[in-house]
Amino acid sequence: MGPILTFDKSFLEMLNPSEIDELDLQFKLFVTPILISEILADLKHPAPRQGKLPEDLVRALARKLVSNHGVIQMHFRSLGLGEITGSLASPVTMNGQVIVDGAAPNVLQTKDGQGTIYDGRQDWEMWKAWANGDFTQTDEYLASRWREQSAQIDLAAITTQWAEFCKQYLANARTISDVIERVDEVIAKPEEQATLLEMAFLFLDAPPLARGLGIRLLQAGLIPDVRSWSPYSTSIARLGIIFCCCLTLKFITSRPTNVLDLQYLFYAPFGMVFVSHDRLHRDLWPATTTNATFVWGAELKADLQRYVQAREAASAARQRGEKQPYYPASFTPEESVIARLRAKYLKPPSSQSKSGPTGEFEQLPEDVKRQFREAMELLDERDAQRGVKARFGNKPAK
């Protein structure tokens, strides 16, 4: 278990099975909804590589995630709209922790309401089905819909809409850093809070009811500053504004899918490490609101290759009867990006800390056994609702 890491499709495509296994060993992975959508969209890829069918592209990527899938993050729109309309109890936490969707069918709340159980089996079933080439009509529809939306992206219209803003506020901007600085100055002004709220609704694709509620809250003086009222929604609006300005000023490439790839950066606050081999993500990373670290895909892949080789060498040595230290211990933060990230985000155990009990279920503390039993009961109840055989049968795990 390592630092929480998110990755985009460009990085996943770079990895072979051994490298993604190593990635899963060194980090705690989480998956964004945009990654799932992008992978499934390949089912309707208009120009797959020679000798490949579109479904082959999906199967290849899904195979990498069957055994290495991470927790799926709650969709940014649900988080942003819940925050900006006040329907969430508090502003979204943006401290590197993954937030799951409590309304998802595989997410359960404990009976005391104090805990969350994430049932990863349904995620595994999805990746396994795609890896086997078993696609439903819903999968086909969603893939087609994604392609249709991509084809409808009008970059010329975006640049036309933002030309006046750039002329007024960014006439002297020469770099992306200049754009970020000027946009921050604008959205900090009290007289621009209504405009900032509208931008948040725009990039969240808010329905009319949510827009009306937010505007009434602002007019009633209950949202004196959008940034403090809804920091996560502000981070989305800020990124969207900066993207549109950079596009208009030609500081980033005019690739239609960049509009969709931007969504990966909306999840930057919910991890410790973000890895991508996409220039858009690298160039706009300074515009994200996060304490996470950006890593270029090729750099992390090269490090993973070294770890894989070290793991294989250590395994071969053990088979020869040689005593081997844990292979990652041979990598230092000075020479390894993985070691550097683990040193930065993982706290070493205290000298006074003790490891928990191991072995049989009955050796666990009573409160831990109670939590396990309750979790198993809840999962069995959910399996009954799904019409599948209960996994635990209310019996403690051995």
Q: Which residues are within 8 A (CB) of 183 and not within 5 positions of it... i.e. 6 or more apart?
A: 169, 238, 241, 242, 245
Q: Residue 138 falls within a domain, yes or no? A: yes
Question: In one letter, which amino acid is 146?
Answer: W
pLDDT at position 396 = 45
Q: Does one domain contain both 160 and 137?
A: no
Q: Give the mean pLDDT of 123-128.
A: 92
| The two three-digit tokens of residue 395, written as one number | 């019996």
pLDDT over 60 (residue 26): yes
394 pLDDT exceeds 90? no
pLDDT of residue 367: 63
Q: At what angle do helices 231-248 and 258-265 cross, to 10 degrees?
A: 150
- Within this chain, do residues 32 and 145 fall inside the same structural domain, yes or no? yes
Asked if residue 288 is part of any domain, the answer here is no
Domain boundary among 225, 251, 267: 267
Supply the pLDDT for residue 375: 66
The count of residues in the chain is: 398
Q: 314 and 199, same structural domain?
A: no
Q: Do 142 and 181 lie in a common domain?
A: no
pLDDT at 322: 86
User: What share of the chain has pLDDT > 70, as a percent?
Assistant: 87
The domain of 336 spans 4-69+120-151+297-345
Name the residue with tokens 């089912």.
43
Looking at residue 323, what is its pLDDT?
A: 82
Q: Report the b/e string of 37-73 with b at 16+ CB within 10 A.
A: bbbbbbbbbeeeeeeeebbebbbbbbbbbbebbbbbb
Domain-terminating residue out of 216, 251, 267:
267
Tens digit of pLDDT for each residue in 333-391? 999 999 999 999 987 655 454 555 555 666 666 666 666 666 666 666 666 766 767 66
Cβ-contact 85, 213 below 8 angstroms = yes
Mean pLDDT of 69-73: 87
Q: Are both 129 and 24 inside the same structural domain?
A: yes
Residue 395, in any domain of the structure: yes
Reported confidence tier of residue 122, pLDDT bands at 50, 70, 90: confident
pLDDT digits (tens, 9 = 90+) for 242-286: 999 999 999 999 888 899 999 999 999 999 999 999 999 999 999
Select from 247, 267, 287 the last residue of a domain.
267
Per-residue model confidence (pLDDT) at position 113: 67
> Model confidence at 393, in pLDDT bands (50, 70, 90)?
low
18 and 134: one domain?
yes
Report the distance separating Cα 312 and Cα 327, nearest Å: 9
**Arithmetic mean of pLDDT, 19-43:** 94
127 lies in the same domain as 242: no
If asked whether residues 307 and 196 sit together in one domain, one would say no
Q: Which two tokens stand for residue 187?
A: 């959205």
Are 259 and 391 part of one and the same domain? no
49 and 8 within one domain: yes
Count of beta carbons in the 10 Å neighbourhood of residue 262: 22
Q: pLDDT tier at 119 (50, 70, 90 boundaries)? A: confident
> Which residues 6+ apart lie within 8 Å of 91 measured at CB?
83, 229, 230, 231, 232
Q: Is residue 50 domain-resident?
A: yes
> With a threshold of 0.95, does the pTM exceed it?
no
Q: 336 and 199: one domain?
A: no
Nearest to 302 by CA among 14, 64, 28: 14
**Overall domain count for the chain:** 3
Residue 82 lies in a domain: no
Q: Given pLDDT bands bounded at 50, 70 and 90, which one contains residue 216?
A: confident
Top-confidence range, 110-119, 136-145, 389-398 = 136-145
Structural domain includes residue 394: yes
One domain, residues 137 and 14: yes
Q: What is the pLDDT of residue 333?
A: 94
Q: Would 104 be classed as within a structural domain?
A: no
Average pLDDT taken over every residue of the chain: 87
Predicted local distance difference test score (pLDDT) of residue 144: 95
